[in-house]
Amino acid sequence: MCDIMDPAPKVRLAYFHVCFAWFIVSTVQGQARINDARAIEEFLKNYHNQASKLYYNYKENSWNYQFDPTSQNKNLMDASKETWDKFLAEGTINASRYDTSVMSERDQRIFKLLLNIDFAAQKNKVKLNRIYELKEKMKSEFSKATTGDMKSSRAYLELLKVWKDYRDAIGNKLKALYPEFVELGNEAIRILGYDDMGAYML
């Protein structure tokens, strides 16, 4: 059973969405699933249209914050991430209502992705919280690193120097975080039946 009061405040809302999704999915198990081909295609079409817009909005806000870490940009990023997480949780709920046994191989692969819930498959709340914490720390290091402006030049050697300076500025800091993130991330992804995060992303 999920306890949404355990995780840290930054991940509590996302954790609630996941718990709620699992509750609904478990509730609809055993009920008649939708097996109409037209309904399946309509669901996928609507999901794709919404996902494209919401994901683009989240990534755009995330990019803006990484290169201009103001409080306003952070608020925009957090709000769009919350909307995206909620959409994914609701997508899991809705996808669970369809009968995958009558689908084409293509649609089965798509629904398999929709029903996968990424790191949230990890039921150990301490480990799940640590994954999110490491992820946010690494994002923060990326956004705080300051070097030259890559937008102001097209000269190869100048751009190469900027990139090396940027890499050197964050390399050692990420080196202390990334191995643990990979270890915990792989452990969570294996619960979904994948060998590691690399296999999950393919």
Let me know whether 46 and 65 are in one domain.
yes
In a domain, 8, yes or no: no
> With a threshold of 0.75, does the pTM exceed it?
no
pLDDT of residue 54: 94
Let me know whether 193 and 182 are in one domain.
yes
Mean pLDDT in residue range 146-173 = 76
Write out the residue range of the structural domain in which residue 79 sits: 13-23+33-116
| pLDDT band, very low/low/confident/very high, at 2 (cuts 50, 70, 90) | very low
Let me know whether 112 and 64 are in one domain.
yes
Mean pLDDT in residue range 185-199 = 89
In a domain, 171, yes or no: yes
DSSP at 150: G
Let me know whether 54 and 137 are in one domain.
no
pLDDT of residue 3: 41
pLDDT of residue 155: 82
**Of 116, 132, 148, which closes a domain?**
116
**Of 116, 146, 166, which closes a domain?**
116
In a domain, 177, yes or no: yes
In a domain, 63, yes or no: yes
Let me know whether 40 and 109 are in one domain.
yes
Let me know whether 125 and 111 are in one domain.
no
Let me know whether 176 and 147 are in one domain.
yes
**Of 84, 116, 148, which closes a domain?**
116
More confident residue, 170 or 3: 170
Let me know whether 192 and 131 are in one domain.
yes
Let me know whether 68 and 149 are in one domain.
no
The set of residues, in sequence order, having a beta carbon less than 8 Å from that of 117 and lying 6+ positions away, is 18, 21, 88, 89, 92, 192
What is the average pLDDT value for the chain, to the nearest integer?
A: 79
In a domain, 71, yes or no: yes
More confident residue, 169 or 11: 169
Long-range contacts (CB closer than 8 Å, 24 or more residues apart) made by 23-29: 24/93, 24/96, 25/92, 25/93, 25/96, 25/115, 28/93, 28/96, 28/97, 29/96
In a domain, 46, yes or no: yes
Let me know whether 18 and 90 are in one domain.
yes
In a domain, 49, yes or no: yes
Nearest to 12 by CA among 92, 78, 90, 63: 78
Let me know whether 122 and 176 are in one domain.
yes
Let me know whether 124 and 169 are in one domain.
yes
How many structural domains compose the chain? 2
pLDDT higher than 80, residue 19: no
Under 8 Å between Cβ of 76 and 68: no
In a domain, 129, yes or no: yes
| pLDDT band, very low/low/confident/very high, at 151 (cuts 50, 70, 90) | low
